[in-house]
Amino acid sequence: MRYVCVHGHFYQPPRENPFTGRVDPQPSAAPWPDWNHRITAECYRPNTRAPLLDEHGEIRGRINTFAHTSSDVGPTLMRWLERHAPDVHEAIVEADRQAIARLGHGSAIAQGFHHAILPLASERDRLREIAWGIRDFQGRFGRDPDAMWLPETAVDLDTLDALARAGIRWTILAPRQCAEVRSPGGGWQPFDSRRPYVVNTRQGRSIVVFFYDGPTSRGVAFDGLLHDGDHFAQVLAHASCDAGLAMVATDGESYGHHHRHGEMALAKLIEVLDHAPDVLLTNPSAYLVHHPATWEARIVEPSSWSCAHGVGRWSANCGCAMDPARSGQQAWRQTLRTAMDALRDAIGERDAASPDLERARLQMYTSCGWFFDGPDGLEAVQILTYALRAITLHRELSGEDLEPLFVERLGPLDDVWQTQVRTILGG
């Protein structure tokens, strides 16, 4: 038997204005009021009821794709869905129950709470991001998570150790994050992504890592594999081998948002594989029951799936940019990281005195703030707004004003701070 798995990483950053608790209008998402509404209509809801068509193009059935795949839906997105699209939230939770009934193991896995880059976080923040992600999962799905998706698959050994310490059994990484592997008692050698591996931490703990299949995942994300669900099923089945597991892992938004009607290709794949005699579409927890990891892997650290320079995309002028013409113009990333870290250190453990301050302080590390090309984009301004919220709450609680320190560290980014962030407060 060959095994295959489709994993979707579903995520939207918190978009609420922290001073009003509401999402400000985002004209770029028109005709929807904001991007969360738009992507819900294009992807999240369609995947809970993805159509199967007959030869005349008529709908002959629907599939909740979440029940047949593996997925992590971020806590900030689940909280938004619960309020604004409760049918979608309920269908995702119900899908997990259906997977348990069919495979013995649920389809949902947890995610670091605020989508922070955990190798760049302080140890205290890292542990809180993991613990909050687990607690959110338990509250929604009514069970402990087996696994956690690391934001941007950003990893180092200390991050894996923190996951293991929290009771997390496995995670998913990109193939290029694997350095080498060895069989029990064997020598180090290049890896094969079709088996899970044990990674041992410096602190003596261990965790299982699945490395996804690179070519198939690229096919879904970038190379048009979702044009034809039959073909998608064949390619994925061929990527596996006897007793092996081939896993596709991409942003979940590939299925309907990045690729129009991608959810229909996924529904077709589910149907095709359901009838394939020698291929089983499963999830990693179910697979591990009869195929426990015995080989060991060493990871590349720090590393991530969307920066070829470790975790530079969120901390340095590493060369990564959306627009190639702007590559190398991202010195602001380090400036912003340094300023945030200075603010974090100045507040110290006093953020624990106020849940609102603690939340704002952690939200300011949402990874999207660093991902794009300039400090004046929607996402960077959003995390600066969280920093302003943290400064404001800290001032109210302690009387201490940390804005001068923060502005000094922002240096050239002070422009953005004054013109965009201050505008949000109307002054």
Residue nearer to Zn ion on the CB measure, 286 or 320? 320
By the 8 A CB rule, do 40 and 283 touch? no
Residue 373 corresponds to which tokens in the numbers above?
């090309």
Distance in Å, CB of 214 to Zn ion, minimum: 18
Residue nearer to Zn ion on the CB measure, 210 or 314? 314
The sign one gets for the Cα dihedral 279, 285, 289, 294 is positive
Distance in Å, CB of 319 to Zn ion, minimum: 6
Give the Cα separation of 130 and 300 in Å (integer): 21
Name the DSSP class of 261. T
Site for Zn ion in 74-113 (CB under 5 A): none
Q: Total number of residues binding Zn ion (CB under 5 A)?
A: 6
> Where do we find the tokens 């694997």?
178
Residue nearer to Zn ion on the CB measure, 38 or 309? 309
Q: How many CA atoms lie within 13 A of 207 on its CB side?
A: 30
Distance in Å, CB of 381 to Zn ion, minimum: 22
Residue 235 corresponds to which tokens in the numbers above?
């390619």
Give the Cα separation of 71 and 175 in Å (integer): 18
Residue nearer to Zn ion on the CB measure, 303 or 382? 303
Residue nearer to Zn ion on the CB measure, 181 or 320? 320
Determine, following the binding rule CB under 5 A, whether residue 119 of this chain makes contact with Zn ion. Answer: no
Distance in Å, CB of 420 to Zn ion, minimum: 25
Name the DSSP class of 419. I
Residue 98 corresponds to which tokens in the numbers above?
């259906």
Distance in Å, CB of 173 to Zn ion, minimum: 17
Residue nearer to Zn ion on the CB measure, 93 or 320? 320
By the 8 A CB rule, do 22 and 40 touch? no
Distance in Å, CB of 304 to Zn ion, minimum: 9
Binding mask 322-361 for Zn ion (x = CB under 5 A): ----------------------------------------
Distance in Å, CB of 179 to Zn ion, minimum: 18
Residue nearer to Zn ion on the CB measure, 43 or 150? 150
Residue 170: partners with Cβ closer than 8 Å, 6 or more residues away: 146, 147, 196, 207, 208, 209, 210, 284, 285, 288
Give the Cα separation of 424 and 427 in Å (integer): 8
Distance between first and last Cα of the chain: 65
Distance in Å, CB of 302 to Zn ion, minimum: 11
Residue nearer to Zn ion on the CB measure, 104 or 328? 328
Residue 316 corresponds to which tokens in the numbers above?
């340095």
Q: Is 320 left (phi over 0), alpha (psi -120 to 50) or beta?
A: beta
Strand 295-299 with 59-63, pairing: unpaired
Distance in Å, CB of 306 to Zn ion, minimum: 8
Chain-centroid distance, C-alpha 114: 10
Q: How far from 21 is each of 35, 273, 294, CA to CA, in Å? A: 16, 44, 48
Residue nearer to Zn ion on the CB measure, 150 or 390? 150
Site for Zn ion in 297-326 (CB under 5 A): 307, 309, 312-313, 318, 320
Distance in Å, CB of 243 to Zn ion, minimum: 36
Distance in Å, CB of 318 to Zn ion, minimum: 3
Chain-centroid distance, C-alpha 16: 19
Residue nearer to Zn ion on the CB measure, 26 or 327? 327
Residue nearer to Zn ion on the CB measure, 94 or 301? 301
Strand 295-299 with 197-200, pairing: parallel
Q: What percent of the chain is helix, strand and coil (3-state, nearest 5)? A: 50, 15, 35
Contact positions vs Zn ion (CB under 5 A) = 307, 309, 312-313, 318, 320
